[in-house]
């Protein structure tokens, strides 16, 4: 029994429409210790299990509701794929048989409606013989699904199809057996079942394409790796690699796991991660990622991330979670689907009674009631949102945009203010000492003391000073302390030294500070008890794309605000270069989240872009957090969207993807609603034959999925800037 909370994904079998997924979700959420989201399009359920809750309880609850559940892992995916392929082939065969049996029935009606009244209809016993296998053999799936739904206390599309076609078949059979002077409607039930089956086949084929992105990602990772064992290079399964193992990537091969280059020089195509086709140079100390394609050189690497801990595995996990999540816009559709079938059945009964009472024609009343039942399938409503989410998040993954959940994707569309960090977001994030001055004493001594104070620090400014003082001897530091956002201090040879921001250092600082800051340089001052000793001007080059990206965001109607811990002079200089007018400088790491809350107080949705650990609280506080993929794990964990490529254009692309996906969802919901709003009254008024209603119902689901697939045309625009 697990004592920690966990999320488990299950493959669900037996769902046929939105009512099924809504009912199953309700059943699971009623179970103790379970929180579930059910995705009709992906046929998946993601269940959050509280400590003490077991997977067996989920499987049992799903079975009681009339469905099947299987935990998803790599082997499950393959088995499920093979099983779906076998079912698809069987259903294709059944469709052709149903078509062959139904065509003679429909053809005779077409000839009669076409003005060939002299053509006699087929003998009723032959019509009975043709229609009955379609009704009870080909249509057995509808009876089975209806029984499971009713047994579980709900109703779904299968109930509507089974009820409607059975009524048409039963009426026609009574007329045939007792040789009554009345038209038979064997062609109605047979044609409806055949058309619904065709719609299901087309829908299944289209739905399979919505998961192309995640399938493509899974196929990318190599199966074998060349690993060093006892001085020999041997091929082993990728699953056998452990962190620290040494592996070789030869020219033209794919990198098996995440790692660090030990030796060798090459270029690696990382398009599957970043969406950019230009290869990235790799040499000693550089990181490589699983499934990226090596170029012309050989690389010897040390494994740093294997199995579920590779960047690729994280992408697959995030894409799967996003595709299985629900956008808030779907809530209305879910509420409608939950009560849809009982309402439709009530309308069908009302139609039957009204026609019978007004015309006295029991048969006509029954046929119109059947048409209402057949056309009212809520499939399109259930597929409207998840199919668009699946395609949209898949396209995002291909472009290096990882969406944590559908809710974040929907919120991104409404962003009015975007707060951006400076270092590592607008700039390259690799500061360098571009100028320095020793104010008193010997220059080498000043460098020694500065390097001693910054030794071991991971701060980008500290790394810049350490790199600049790489050749000097290191001194020992006692009583070291750091003040976030200000600087560091410690005792060296019994004397207190400080290194940090000019306004933190006591005493008058050199006039060059203002000039350097005006030139977009960050100034760090080294001082002892007697005052400043040295000045360091540190510059972080602006990303080449930052100016165009900021202009693009502003053109989208988004106000861009800079939040930085740097001094106001340097921050204003950088802001002027990229076109940002609203600058909040000198903000300590702990104050960034509060600054985001201030921006949110204006009543607009606020996005935050950052890459460092100090950005994590602000990313979490924002309505939508964007983490640069090159940043820290803490930032990525706190963000709603992760940009694999460290480029601000990725934020604009993510917002554009949000607009495109939400536009498709709204189109789908409109089509689904309008279809039912128009179709049900037409059927109730007797203006739709059950056969036409069946065709319209089948095509509605296909049209919604096909409309979602048009999202595959979406491409990021960053390549044009």
**Catalytic residue ranges:** 421
- DSSP-assigned letter for residue 185: -
**Burial letters 240-257, b for 16+ CB under 10 A, else e:** ebeeebebbbeeebbbbb
Q: From CA 131, how far away is CA 137, in angstroms rounded? A: 10
Beta strands in 510-584 (DSSP E): 522-528, 531-539, 559-563, 582-584
| 3 state DSSP class of 129 | helix
Taking the CB of residue 545, how many other CB atoms lie within 10 A of it?
Answer: 18
Strands across the sheet containing 6-13: 34-39, 44-49, 6-13, 68-71
Q: Which residue has the tokens 């003005």?
A: 115
Three-class secondary structure assignment of 671-701? HHHHHHHHHHHHHHCCCCCHHHHHHHHHHHH
How far apart are the C-alpha atoms of 674 and 88, rounded to whole Å? 30
The CA–CA distances, whole Å, from 643 to 273, 389, 576 equal 9, 18, 25
Closest CA to 658 of 470, 407, 383: 407
Q: Distance between CA atoms of 717 and 649, rounded to whole angstroms? A: 8
Q: Provide the β-strand partners of residue 34.
A: 49
Largest Cα–Cα separation, the chain:
118
**CA–CA separation, 114 and 451 (whole Å):** 94
Give every CB contact of residue 519 below 8 A, 6+ residues apart in sequence: 537, 573
Surface-to-core class of residue 650, CB atoms within 10 Å of its CB (0-12 exposed, 13-18 middle, 19+ buried): buried
Neighbours of 716 (CB within 10 A): 23
Q: How far is CA 561 from CA 210, 422, 609, 634, in A?
A: 37, 10, 10, 22
Terminal C-alpha separation, the chain? 54
From the list 71, 662, 614, the residue with the least C-alpha distance to 403 is 662
Contacts of 134 (CB under 8 A, 6+ apart): 98, 101, 102, 189, 190, 193, 194
């Amino acid at each position: 029994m697990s004592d920690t909370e966990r999320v488990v994904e299950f493959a669900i079998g037996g769902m046929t429409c939105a009512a099924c997924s809504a009912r199953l979700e309700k059943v699971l959420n009623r179970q103790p210790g379970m929180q579930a989201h059910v995705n009709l399009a992906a046929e998946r359920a993601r269940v959050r299990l509280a400590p003490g809750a077991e997977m067996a309880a989920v499987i049992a609850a799903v079975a009681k509701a009339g469905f099947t559940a299987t935990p998803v892992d790599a082997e499950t995916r393959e088995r499920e794929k093979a099983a779906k392929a076998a079912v698809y082939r069987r259903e294709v065969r059944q469709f052709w048989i149903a078509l062959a049996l139904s065509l003679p029935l429909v053809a005779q009606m077409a000839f009669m409606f076409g003005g060939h009244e002299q053509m006699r209809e087929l003998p009723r016993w032959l019509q009975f013989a043709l229609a009955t296998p379609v009704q009870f053999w080909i249509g057995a799936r509808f009876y089975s699904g209806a029984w499971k739904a009713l047994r579980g206390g709900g109703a779904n599309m299968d109930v509507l199809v089974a009820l409607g076609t059975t009524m048409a078949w039963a009426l026609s059979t009574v007329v045939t057996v007792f040789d009554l002077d009345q038209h038979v409607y064997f062609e109605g039930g047979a044609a409806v079942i055949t058309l619904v089956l065709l719609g299901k086949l087309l829908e299944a084929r289209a739905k399979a394409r919505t998961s192309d992105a995640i399938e493509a990602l899974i196929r990318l990772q190599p199966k074998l790796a060349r690993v060093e064992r006892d001085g020999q290079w041997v091929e082993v399964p990728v699953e056998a690699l452990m962190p620290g193992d040494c592996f070789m990537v030869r020219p033209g091969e794919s990198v098996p796991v995440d790692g660090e280059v030990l030796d060798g020089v090459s270029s690696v195509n990382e398009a599957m991660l970043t969406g950019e086709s230009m290869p990235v140079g790799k040499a000693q100390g550089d990181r490589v990622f699983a499934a990226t394609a090596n170029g012309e050189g050989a690389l010897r690497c040390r494994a740093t991330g294997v199995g579920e801990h590779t960047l690729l595995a994280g992408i697959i996990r995030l894409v799967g979670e996003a595709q299985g999540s629900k956008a808030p816009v779907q809530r209305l559709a879910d509420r409608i689907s939950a009560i849809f079938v009982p309402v439709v059945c009530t309308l069908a009964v009302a139609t039957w009674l009204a026609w019978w009472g007004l015309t006295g024609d029991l048969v006509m009343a029954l046929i119109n009631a059947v048409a209402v039942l057949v056309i009212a399938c809520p499939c399109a409503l259930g597929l409207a949102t998840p199919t668009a989410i699946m395609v949209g998040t898949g396209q995002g993954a291909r472009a290096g945009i990882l969406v944590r959940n559908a809710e974040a994707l929907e919120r991104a569309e409404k962003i009015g203010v975007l707060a951006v960090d400076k270092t590592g977001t607008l700039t390259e994030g690799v500061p360098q000492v571009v100028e320095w001055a020793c104010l008193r004493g010997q220059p080498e001594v000043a460098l020694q003391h500065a390097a001693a104070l910054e030794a071991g620090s991971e701060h980008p400014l500290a790394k810049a000073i350490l790199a600049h003082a790489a050749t000097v001897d290191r001194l020992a530091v006692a009583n070291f302390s750091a003040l976030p956002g200000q600087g560091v201090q410690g005792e060296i040879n019994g004397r207190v030294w400080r290194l940090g921001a000019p306004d933190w250092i006591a005493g008058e600082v050199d006039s060059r500070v203002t000039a350097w800051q005006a030139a977009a340089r960050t100034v760090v001052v080294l001082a002892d008890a007697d005052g400043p000793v040295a000045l360091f001007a540190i510059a972080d080059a602006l990303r080449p794309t930052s100016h165009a990206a900021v202009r693009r965001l502003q053109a989208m109607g988004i106000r861009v605000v800079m939040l930085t811990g740097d001094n106001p002079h340097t921050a204003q200089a950088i802001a002027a270069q990229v076109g940002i007018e609203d600058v909040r400088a000198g903000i300590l790491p702990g104050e960034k989240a509060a600054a985001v809350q201030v921006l949110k107080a204006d009543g607009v949705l606020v996005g935050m872009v950052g890459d460092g650990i100090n950005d994590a609280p602000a990313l979490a506080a924002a309505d939508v957090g964007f983490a640069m993929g090159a940043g820290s794990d803490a930032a990525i964990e706190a963000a709603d969207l992760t940009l694999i490529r460290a480029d601000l254009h990725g934020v604009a692309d993510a917002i554009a993807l949000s607009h495109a996906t939400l536009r498709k969802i709204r189109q789908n919901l409109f089509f689904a609603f309008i279809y039912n709003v128009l179709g049900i009254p037409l059927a109730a008024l007797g203006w739709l034959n059950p056969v036409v209603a069946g065709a319209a119902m089948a095509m509605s689901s296909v049209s919604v999925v096909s409309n979602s697939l048009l999202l595959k045309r979406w491409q990021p625009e960053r390549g044009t800037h």
